Amino acid sequence: MIRAVVVDDDKDTVTAFSEILGSNDIEVVGKGYNGQEAAFLYQKLKPDVIFLDIIMPVYDGFYGLTKIREMNPEAIVIITTSQMSINAQIALNKLNPSAIIKEPIDVNEIMGIVNRLCAPSIDSEDTMKKTMVTLALKNSLLELGIQDYDKVVSLLQKNYSCKLEDCYENPVYLRHILKDLYGNSYPDILNSIVENMKDISSVESVKDFLQVLKI
């Protein structure tokens, strides 16, 4: 059975969410109410997955996720949130959450994500690389502004019928879009992408991805 920890500053939310998980064969082994408790419970209980609210007083989800990542960069941490500012979203992306679930919670969405993350297929390593590359790309584009981000995503869909996450396998699509949009400013955008991927730049597939963008 999958073991989970649930952390939210609203005790009623923790209770209700825990009941939902329990009724879907996920054992809630710990409950917390701030980011500091999240880090403590993760260290103590070593759950398969931790559900973490991002907006909490005193010690928020950013604090909790940061501490958990220090203990285990590959920990499965699913963020739950109702809304976030662009700056908050950029900061969160840099911490590589395993998934982000927008409230109100959809049970089918939760179970799909949990089953995918906690019972990974044989290509899970490649999926993880793809997720990290996509988060880094998203971060770089959001740094340009939400309008630029939306424009790039829209052109990828219009010109190549692909999403941002598909660029991991098709970096040439992204290169064409960014060069067409930004021209002489493309090298600056490329530098931002490289900087946001520095923690995974030693991975061979990521090297290949960046090499295509540099052509």
Q: What is the mean pLDDT of residues 41-51?
A: 96
- Residue spans in the chain of domains classed CATH 3.40.50.2300: 2-118
Confirm or reject CATH 1.10.10.10 for domain 124-214, answering yes or no. no
The Cα–Cα gap between 192 and 190 comes to 5
Predicted local distance difference test score (pLDDT) of residue 121? 47
Q: Give this prediction's pTM.
A: 0.59
Chain segment 84-109, per-residue pLDDT in tens? 778 888 888 888 899 998 878 888 88
> Are the C-beta atoms of 113 and 78 separated by less than 8 Å?
yes
Contact criterion met (CB below 8 Å) for 36 and 63: yes
> Residue 205: which pLDDT band, with cuts at 50, 70 and 90?
confident
Q: For residue 147, give every residue at least 6 positions away whose Cβ sits within 8 Å of its Cβ, in sequence order, or none.
A: none
CATH superfamily assigned to domain 2-118 = Response regulator (3.40.50.2300)
State residue 122's pLDDT score: 43
Backbone φ, ψ for residue 172 (5° rounding): -65, -30
Residue type at 201? S
Residues in the chain: 215
Domain with CATH 1.10.1200.200 in the chain: 124-214
* Cα(68)–Cα(62) distance, integer angstroms: 10
Query: Average pLDDT in the 155-183 region?
Result: 95
Each residue's pLDDT tens digit, 130-160: 888 999 999 999 999 999 999 999 999 999 9
> Dihedral sign, CA of 141, 146, 152, 156?
positive
Residue 39 in tokens: 């880090």
The model's confidence at residue 124, banded by pLDDT at 50, 70 and 90, is low
